């Protein structure tokens, strides 16, 4: 199979199933953002993290690939294709709670940075937030994607907590925002 199809040269692309749509279609925008998120998570995974966090990130990337598969398929009933479920959301919530127990409470906003590992993780978090926004129009078309929205919402929270945990584990001070009026 060739990597190029010559069908996208005029601003269109094909959904799985054959329907041509413009490359700025809301479904393609959501797919592209989730694809970008998967890549940012790959960069986070490539950092010096502990084995547990690396395993969680790989699981997350796997779940996002399922979500991407559903978004890029034009069929409305995809029972033959695995989808996210409440257990996937619970995994993120359990990780958030686990990390929260390790960290001091916050009393201000955090400015992303301090170390490239933290900055990469914050970039993944902000792309995840964009994926949530790109996902909203799709919920009206396909209710079964609601679990994907829930997963993305928890994922951005998890990534925020992971940023803080990475800083703590590596003795990197959080850069807190102190407004200067």
Instruction: Give the Cα separation of 88 and 151 in Å (integer).
Output: 7
For residue 129, pLDDT over 90 is answered with: yes
pLDDT at residue number 13: 67
Compute the Cα dihedral for 68, 159, 178, 107 and give only its sign: positive
Confidence of residue 92 (pLDDT cuts 50, 70, 90): very high
Instruction: Answer whether residue 4 is part of any domain.
Output: no
Mean of the per-residue pLDDT values of the chain: 88
pLDDT at residue number 122: 96
φ, ψ of residue 105 to 5 degrees: the values are: -65, 155
Instruction: Answer whether residue 2 is part of any domain.
Output: no
φ, ψ of residue 14 to 5 degrees: the values are: -110, 130
Instruction: Answer whether residue 6 is part of any domain.
Output: no
Instruction: Answer whether residue 3 is part of any domain.
Output: no
Mean pLDDT of 132-150: 87
Instruction: Count Cβ neighbours within 10 Å for each residue of 112-147 and write b for 16 or more, e otherwise.
Output: bebbebbebbbbbbebbbbbbebbeebeeeeeebeb
Q: Which domain holds residue 27?
A: 13-101+110-176
Lowest mean pLDDT segment, chosen from 40-44, 105-109, 118-122: 105-109
Please give the residue that has the higher pLDDT: either 112 or 57: 57
Instruction: Answer whether residue 8 is part of any domain.
Output: no
Report the number of distinct structural domains present in the chain: 1
CA dihedral 156, 36, 165, 119 (to 10 degrees): -120
For residue 155, pLDDT over 90 is answered with: yes
Instruction: Answer whether residue 48 is part of any domain.
Output: yes
Instruction: Give the Cα separation of 89 and 153 in Å (integer).
Output: 9
Confidence of residue 7 (pLDDT cuts 50, 70, 90): low
Q: What is the CATH number of the domain that holds 127?
A: 1.20.1200.10
Instruction: Answer whether residue 95 is part of any domain.
Output: yes
What is the crossing angle of helices 86-102 and 146-169, to 10°? Answer: 20
pLDDT at residue number 113: 87
Mean pLDDT of 29-40: 94
Instruction: Answer whether residue 181 is part of any domain.
Output: no
Confidence of residue 2 (pLDDT cuts 50, 70, 90): low
Confidence of residue 125 (pLDDT cuts 50, 70, 90): very high
């Amino acid at each position: 199979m060739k990597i190029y199809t010559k069908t996208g040269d005029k601003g269109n692309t094909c959904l799985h199933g054959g329907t041509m749509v413009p490359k700025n279609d809301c479904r393609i925008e959501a797919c592209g953002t989730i694809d970008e998120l998967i890549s940012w998570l790959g960069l986070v995974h490539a950092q010096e993290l502990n084995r547990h966090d690396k395993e969680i990130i790989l699981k997350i990337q796997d779940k996002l690939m399922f979500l991407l598969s559903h978004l890029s398929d034009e069929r409305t009933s995809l029972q033959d294709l695995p989808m996210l479920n409440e257990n996937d959301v619970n995994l993120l919530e359990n990780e958030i709670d686990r990390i929260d127990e390790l960290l001091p409470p916050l009393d201000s906003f955090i400015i992303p940075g301090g170390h490239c590992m933290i900055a990469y993780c914050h970039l993944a978090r902000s792309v995840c937030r964009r994926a949530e926004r790109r996902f909203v129009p799709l919920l009206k078309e396909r209710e079964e994607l609601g679990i994907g929205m829930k997963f993305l919402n928890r994922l951005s929270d998890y990534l925020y907590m992971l940023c803080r945990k990475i800083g703590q584990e590596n003795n990197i001070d959080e850069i807190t925002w102190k407004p200067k009026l």
